[in-house]
Amino acid sequence: MTRIVVTGLGLITSLGVGSHTNWRAMLEGKDGGSEIPYFDTSQYRVHRAHVVREVPSERFAPPAVLPADFALTAAREALASSGLDLSRLRPERVGLALGTLGGELRTYEAKLREHPEQKEHGYSAGFASVSPVSRISAIVAERLSIEGPVLTSINACSSANHALAASFELLQEGRVDAMIVAGADTVTQTGFTYFHNLRSLASDRVQPFDKNRQGLMIGEGAGVLILEPYDQASRRGAKIYAEVLGYGLSSDGYHVTSPHPEGRGAIEVMQRALASAGLEPEQIDYVNAHGTATPANDYAEALALSAVFCERARALPVSSTKSMIGHCMGASSAIESVVCCLALESQVAPPTINFETPDPNIDLDVIPGRARAIPMKYVLNNSFAFGGNNASVIFGKV
């Protein structure tokens, strides 16, 4: 088996642009929530989300910034930090795997608002240039001069971990020399309304694992990782953030929105990730939880963690960075994978903020309030999407 490592990282979230900016803010336990500027929220119970406030675009001026722009910003940072010179690789051997939940909808929504009486009014040349969703990956691939495989993964909240898993396999097969793994999503009125009407949204702040947690807050942004074989990375003296030791995939087969009540799919996905990485549960030093702060997810996730990690679950550091950046949908598992790499690099685990009252049914060390220095060799990144679409990745320190 080829060892696959992470050599570049890029981030853009409600906490700002760039991995360093984001990491600093996470270590300080900052909350990136704010009022939603994109559409009128007066008719909703909730008015806040985790929006990207510094809006970069190399293609359009705001507010026409799209998932492709988020992905490009983060990808350029990741490529720069990796020092990977794409011109020195055969172009068809560098690929892109991009995960997204909603693709681009804001363009459609903005146009349709002008004449909402017929849905065809939402269609414009602008929207047709970024639809279907694979066109977003095409924009990013073209800008980065990618000529290898380009995959678009639409798996809701697990999209980017799927993209990472697919990239891992392409590298294992030796079909590519490097993969750019990305996740990107924007806050849309459609997505917001969907969760709002499911009564899944918190109005104020995200409180994962807290007894009084109200739900998730929609977030947006992008995370990017550069993956390449270890031999190639070390030959060129690249900085190695982490190794991708393995991953697990599972499917609850239970319900379209609710997780299996005993966390069956979540248990399976973590066990498969451990088996894939050749690790025992007790070797995991930190878990970046899916931790959306919905009553259902956090309970099922805690149950699953308990089943997989047994008595150790109570002492195992588990935090949800969604407390600081919201739930960035298809981008979340990419962003959280980047966070795992940063945690391994600095040997500091990010906190779960807004944690005030422990839930008697959830017995976890959530790293409340403040980041914590922890010796970490192996970390686990969970993503559990609607429909029980589960994907977990294990990173190791090199």
Which residues lie below 8 Å from residue 384, measured CB to CB, with a gap of 6+? Answer: 157, 158, 259, 265, 266, 269, 290, 297, 300, 301, 390
Window 260-319: residues binding another protein (CB under 8 A)? 265, 268, 272, 275-276, 278
| 221-229 vs 318-319, strand pairing mode | unpaired
Question: Mapping DSSP to helix (H, G, I), strand (E, B) and coil, where does residue 219 land?
Answer: strand
Please state the closest distance from residue 146 (CB atom) to another protein, in A.
6
Nearer to another protein, 189 or 382 (CB): 189
CB of 44 to another protein, least distance (A): 6
* Cα separation values, 237 from 13, 230, 240, 341, Å: 29, 10, 9, 18
As a whole number of angstroms, the distance between CA 29 and CA 324 comes to 7
Q: Minimum distance between the CB of residue 120 and another protein, rounded to whole angstroms?
A: 4
Let me know if 115 is a catalytic residue: no
Tell which one of 196, 205, 327, 397 touches another protein (CB under 8 A): 196
Cβ at position 237, least distance to another protein in Å: 29
Cβ neighbors of 246 (< 8 A, separation 6 or more) are 273, 274, 275, 276, 277, 278, 279, 393, 394
Instruction: Single out the segment in contact with another protein by CB under 8 A; choices: 56-64, 236-244, 253-261, 318-326.
Output: 253-261
Query: Which of 19, 107, 189, 288 touches another protein by CB under 8 A?
Result: 189
For the chain, state the CA radius of gyration. Answer: 19
Q: Which of residues 11-30 bind another protein (CB under 8 A)?
A: none
Q: 3-class SS at 49?
A: strand
- Choosing from 50, 327, 328, 341, which is the catalytic residue? 327
111, containing H or E segment: helix 106-114
Question: Whose CA is closest to 248, among 150, 380, 338?
Answer: 380
Q: Is 156 in the site for another protein (CB under 8 A)?
A: yes
Say if strands 242-251 and 389-396 run parallel, antiparallel, or are unpaired: antiparallel
Instruction: Tell me the window of 152-160, 179-187, 288-296, 331-339 that interacts with another protein (CB under 8 A).
Output: 152-160
Contact between 183 and another protein (CB under 8 A)? no
Q: Are 162 and 134 in contact (CB under 8 A)?
A: no
Figure out which of the listed residues 21, 57, 172, 232 binds another protein, where binding follows CB under 8 A.
172
Given 149, 208, 221, 229, the residue binding another protein (CB under 8 A) = 149
Site for another protein in 198-237 (CB under 8 A): 198
By CB under 8 A, tell whether 251 contacts another protein: yes
In 239-354, beta strands by DSSP E: 242-251, 286-288, 318-319, 348-349
Q: Does the active-site annotation cover 327?
A: yes
CA–CA distance, 264 with 216 (Å, rounded to integer) = 22
Residue 155 makes contact with another protein by CB under 8 A: yes
3 state DSSP class of 324: helix
Q: Which is nearer to another protein, 268 or 345 (CB)?
A: 268
- Per CB under 8 A, the segment of 22-30, 71-79, 191-199, 375-383 that binds another protein is 191-199
Residue that the structure tokens 């806050």 belong to: 187
> Binding marks (x or -) toward another protein, 32..51, rule CB under 8 A?
-----------xx-------
Q: Contact between 389 and another protein (CB under 8 A)?
A: yes
Report cis status (omega within 30 of 0) of the bond before 132: yes
- Residue 30 C-beta: closest distance to another protein, Å: 30
Residue nearer to another protein on the CB measure, 156 or 353: 156
Structural contact between residues 296 and 309, judged by C-beta atoms closer than 8 angstroms = no
Residue 215 phi/psi, 5-degree rounding, is 145, -165
Q: Which of residues 112-141 bind another protein (CB under 8 A)?
A: 112-113, 116-120, 122-125, 127-129, 131-135, 137-138, 141
Least distance in angstroms from the C-beta of 13 to another protein? 22
- Of 134 and 346, the one with the shorter C-beta distance to another protein is 134
Q: Which residues are catalytic?
A: 157, 290, 327
